[in-house]
Structure 1
Amino acid sequence: MKEAAPVPEAYADVVRRSDACPFARRLGMRVTAIEGDRVRVSMPTAGMENGHGTTHGGAIFALADQAFGIAGNLSGEDQIGLSAYIQYLSVPAGATLEAVARKVSETEKTSLYAVEVYSGDRMVASFEGVGFKIGVPAQKE
């Protein structure tokens, strides 16, 4: 996995809001890059094991959902998740997971995002999320 790349200034507010999310901070999630239409978010897996000793599916889902949320808010119009679906493809083996999110399509009120979750070079999950556009965020004074 790459070191964090500088975040383009146009997306700095979205990244600041995601970095301030207590849940994401508790899980150690961080934006590692925003490249074109792709958002990369990483998360360590230590302490997130299930009863089988592998990374808990809820942790994998949370990482994918965080990447989806960030990608969905890059345009400057706030979105919330309307629905999400995940397929677990393999057991994560690394110490860190990385989610890569991208927009697939959108309408006036909704959007569809695809997120792939990786453990090293191996894809461990495929996630689809539908966002609902709720408007432009309030400006800080």
Structure 2
Amino acid sequence: MKKAVSIPENYAVAVHRSDTCEFARLLGMEVTGIEDGCVRVAMSTSGVKNAHGTTHGGAIFAIADHAFGIAANMDGVDQIAISAHIRYFSVPAADTLEAVARRVSETERTSVFSVDVYSGDRLVASFEGVGFKIGVPARKE
């Protein structure tokens, strides 16, 4: 699955942090692109099957959450998730998953991201994550 990926220089630190994350390494997740405000992350479904022989929902959630985390932390302000919701639509049809994360809205302290998870051309799940900016000092009134 490894291929040469061109990452804009201003996002290199965030991508390196995500690519060296223990959990991402355990599941074989990798950033495959950053373009037009979207972060793309791919992962093989090998080794993450459930008792029914399909991709485990936890693996689908994990790639969506990872893509959300990368997208939320690309601008140099540390963010953590304070809420996440996922809807599953279908079982994966291919041997890989791809999560595509994009910012939906942002305030001084929070942000909302939408992540679609695909297997080939099939939409497998839709995820929404809310990030809290821990690197922003509280405003004094």
Distance 1:38 1:4, change over 3 A: farther
CA distance in 1, matches of 2:57, 2:16: 26
CA distance in 1, matches of 2:4, 2:49: 25
> CA-to-partner distance for each residue in 1:71-108, whole Å, 9 max, x for gaps?
00011111000100000000102110000000000111
Check the 8 A contact 1:4/1:33 in 2, yes or no: no
Which residue is 1:49 aligned to?
49
Gap runs ≥5 in structure 1: 137-141
**Are residues 1:90 and 2:90 paired?**
yes
Gap runs ≥5 in structure 2: 137-141
User: 2:74 aligns to what SS in structure 1?
Assistant: coil
**Within 5 Å, which residues of 2 pair with 1:107-122?**
107-122=107-122
Which residue is 2:10 aligned to?
10
Which residue is 2:139 aligned to?
none
Give the alignment's Cα RMSD to 1 decimal: 1.2
Check the 8 A contact 1:86/1:126 in 2, yes or no: yes
Identity of aligned residues (%): 69
User: 2:47 aligns to what SS in structure 1?
Assistant: coil
Q: Give TM-score scaled by structure 1 length.
A: 0.93
**Within 5 Å, which residues of 2 pair with 1:1-141?**
3-135=3-135
Residue 27 of structure 1 deviates from its aligned partner by: 0.1
Runs of 4+ in 1 over 3 A off after TM superposition: none
Distance 1:92 1:30, change over 3 A: same
CA distance in 1, matches of 2:108, 2:25: 32
Residue 4 of structure 1 deviates from its aligned partner by: 4.9
Residue 57 of structure 1 deviates from its aligned partner by: 0.1
Residue 21 of structure 1 deviates from its aligned partner by: 0.4
Q: Give TM-score scaled by structure 2 length.
A: 0.93
Check the 8 A contact 1:4/1:31 in 2, yes or no: no
Question: What amino acid sits opposite 1:78 in the alignment?
Answer: D
> CA-to-partner distance for each residue in 1:44-92, whole Å, 9 max, x for gaps?
0001000100000000000000000000001111100010000000010
Question: What amino acid sits opposite 2:77 in the alignment?
Answer: E
Aligned length: 135
